Copies of this chain bind each other. A is one copy, B any other.
Amino acid sequence: MRISRRNFLGLSAATGGGAALGALGWSMRGEATSDDRTQPASARRIPFGGFHQSGVTTPQQESLVFAAFDVRAERLDDVRTLFLEWTDAARRMTGGEPIRARQGGFSDAPPDSGETQGLDPSRLTLTFGFGPDFFGTRSDARFGLARLRPPSLVSLPPFAGDQLDQARVGGDLCVQACADDPQVAFHAIRNLAALGRGAVVVRWMQQGFRHIRAPVPLTGRNLLGFKDGINNLDPSDDEQMAANVWAGEEGPAWLRGGTYMVVRRIRMRVEHWDSVSLSEQERTFGRKKVTGAPFGANREHDPVDPRSLPPDCHIIQANPRTAGSESERILRRSYSFADGLDARFGELDAGLFFVCFQRDPRRQFVAIQTRLSRGDHLREYVFHTGSGIFAIPPGTRERGYVGQPLLEGDVTMQ
């Protein structure tokens, strides 16, 4: 349930305008503050710490800003400092506070860019990850961490049909910001980038949106007009998450309780799609458009019977429902995007920013996408223009920082 902002303000009015200003890190300079809003209470706040990072099994928010960063720092110490500062900043921002605690002076740059002042935390989550290139190679060990690169953190292979824009691929690090307010998600990434200046540069970014203001049973639709996520794993099912999402004993100790994130920017040829028949659209997916029911069934959650479906339809190619394919299952957490016109084609640059989490990308995303890239009938209507893979470390303890066991090179810390 959405909580009325009016109630928030009512509840939190007792904290007073001055307290809010102090918390925001601006100098007050004796100004009247009676028409400033106080910080909201914790009701729309998702705690940052915990055994796992938030933003994986957290119920999905409305807005995404994803950023991939390249590391410019050359010393591991500087990367540690970056993650110490980013962790502190993430704790603050997810709590609805400005990015830095310090009070800025009148002749200093403000400690926070300020566009979220007075807004509530909007269920902001910040999820940090490390890409394969962060670890360097045996010949170029970079931060001396090559031995800690998990074998599962492969560089994604090329897939048939990829049309990757090199300006939207890879990254040493990533931050996924999700919130119910695009201004809150953008603010977080913008201020983390500013905080990291000198140590990191933004390599690429992606905004996304998703309609989630509905009771849980309303499955969201993608920009092809089909329900998306009907057969997703259930993030509230700990057993499913343990089996399919959270990294365990099979990898390095620093990643236990973490996961692997794969992102793919999937352009949809919406003009082409809009011109083909309902029959062709439905046989492409293997589901009815209105109800979401698989062919041969009546409701979206009815069991899929592969014998009722075209063998090249999307839902069978994505999940063949064989004994072996059970181990490929991933947790999807995608957002639609609409980035104006694609000047190359004069077509809408819109589609799905596909986000998934898994325990081992080799047996999960890579296996699925290899099959899809060869046999999925949906290939005719979509192509991939961006790509990234990241190891997502576990959550942080009260005084720890994200990635600490990795960055302190201690495989026993976990």
Partner-B contacts on A (CB < 8 A): 1-2, 4-6, 9, 21, 24, 26-29, 31-37, 63, 65, 104-110, 112-119, 167, 181-184, 186, 190, 193-194, 197, 201-202, 204-207, 209-211, 213-215, 217-218, 221-226, 270-271, 273-279, 281, 288-291, 293, 298-301, 336, 338-341, 343, 346, 348, 350
Q: How far is the CA of A270 from the CA of B215 in the complex (A)?
A: 38
Ranked 4 nearest A-B pairs via Cβ: A114-B225, A32-B298, A182-B209, A205-B340
Q: Known A-B contacts: A110-B281, A116-B221, A186-B223. Give 19 more (CB < 8 A).
A: A2-B4, A6-B215, A29-B288, A31-B291, A36-B290, A36-B291, A63-B209, A104-B278, A106-B278, A107-B277, A109-B276, A114-B224, A114-B226, A115-B336, A117-B225, A183-B210, A183-B221, A184-B211, A194-B271
Known A-B contacts A114-B221, A350-B186; A31 and B209 likewise in contact (beta carbons under 8 Å): no
- Closest chain B residue to A274, Cβ basis: B194
Identify A278's interface contact among B4, B27, B298, CB under 8 A.
B27
Residues of B near A281 (CB, < 8 A) are: 110
Identify A225's interface contact among B110, B290, B348, CB under 8 A.
B110
Q: Distance in Å from the Cβ of A60 to the closest Cβ of chain B?
A: 14
Known A-B contacts A106-B278, A290-B36; A270 and B113 likewise in contact (beta carbons under 8 Å): yes
- Establish whether residues B27 and A211, one from each chain, have CB atoms under 8 Å apart when the complex forms: no
Q: Distance in Å from the Cβ of A414 to the closest Cβ of chain B?
A: 35
- Establish whether residues A348 and B190, one from each chain, have CB atoms under 8 Å apart when the complex forms: yes
User: Mind listing 14 A-B residue pairs with CB under 8 Å?
Assistant: A1-B4, A1-B6, A6-B215, A27-B278, A105-B278, A107-B278, A109-B277, A110-B281, A113-B270, A190-B223, A194-B271, A197-B271, A205-B338, A205-B341
Known A-B contacts A211-B183, A290-B21, A298-B31; A338 and B65 likewise in contact (beta carbons under 8 Å): yes
- Establish whether residues B108 and A218, one from each chain, have CB atoms under 8 Å apart when the complex forms: no
Q: How far is the CA of A65 from the CA of B226 in the complex (A)?
A: 21
Q: How far is the CA of A336 from the CA of B84 in the complex (A)?
A: 30
Q: Distance in Å from the Cβ of A262 to the closest Cβ of chain B?
A: 19
Residues of B near A289 (CB, < 8 A) are: 26, 110, 114
Q: How far is the CA of A190 from the CA of B336 in the complex (A)?
A: 14
Q: How far is the CA of A281 from the CA of B225 in the complex (A)?
A: 45
Residues of B near A107 (CB, < 8 A) are: 277-279
Q: How far is the CA of A222 from the CA of B119 in the complex (A)?
A: 13
Known A-B contacts A226-B114, A277-B107, A278-B107; A293 and B190 likewise in contact (beta carbons under 8 Å): no
Residues of B near A28 (CB, < 8 A) are: 290
Residues of B near A116 (CB, < 8 A) are: 221
Residues of B near A115 (CB, < 8 A) are: 221-225, 336
